[in-house]
Amino acid sequence: MAARLIHVNPNAVSWAGFVAAVGAGIGFYLGGSGFLAAALFLLLVNSYLDALDGKIAKLAGKASARGDFLDHVLDRYADVFILGGVAFNAMYSRLSVGTLALLGVLLTSYMGTQAQAVGQGRAYGGILGRADRLVLLFLGGLIQWLVAPSGGVTWGTGPFTFGPLEWFMVLFAVLGNVTAVQRAVKIWRGFR
């Protein structure tokens, strides 16, 4: 597909992916069957375009530091809109859980760019990268849509009782922060 779109500006593809992410975030925030279905569709569009923009840039010989910077900035804002949409919808997640998920996601990215800032090259390793997160978020949203698109269903016991999509936010909170720590340790060891 990237070869067919070689004449398309890769930055335009990045922006289109970002617009899809904003739409997905709004769909998650509004909730309910129709908006959740739209959010899932737009999440797929964002994921696809995010994978495509860099490939188009490389094939067209248009890869640049400026384009890479734009892609990373838009990806972070996309993460905030998408996960923020879930976090701020009380039907799907408690705000505290959503905040911890966002913290894990943003710190993971920060550690990756911090490695580059100290001369070790961009760090992408760890247990939960962006592509993994998007796949898991789609799966969590799909389960939520199938089981309880308007919320009201929880699984667990005691303080560990969460709705379907909220369980995935818990996963992002835990694994996102674990990934950030993994990258930080790798960077620390890189100074030896």
- Could you list the active site residues? 75
Query: Using CA atoms, how far apart are residues 18 and 117, in angstroms rounded to an integer?
Result: 25
For tokens 């911890």, name the residue.
Answer: 100
Entry field: residues in the chain:
192
In this structure, is the dihedral angle defined by the CA atoms of residues 33, 88, 78 and 154, taken in order, positive or negative? negative
The candidate with the shortest Cα–Cα distance to 183, out of 116, 83, 101, 100, is 116
Query: Using CA atoms, how far apart are residues 64 and 166, in angstroms rounded to an integer?
Result: 38
Who contacts 96 (Cβ-Cβ below 8 Å, separation ≥6)? none
Establish how many alpha carbons lie within 13 A of residue 118's alpha carbon, considering only the half-sphere containing its beta carbon: 14
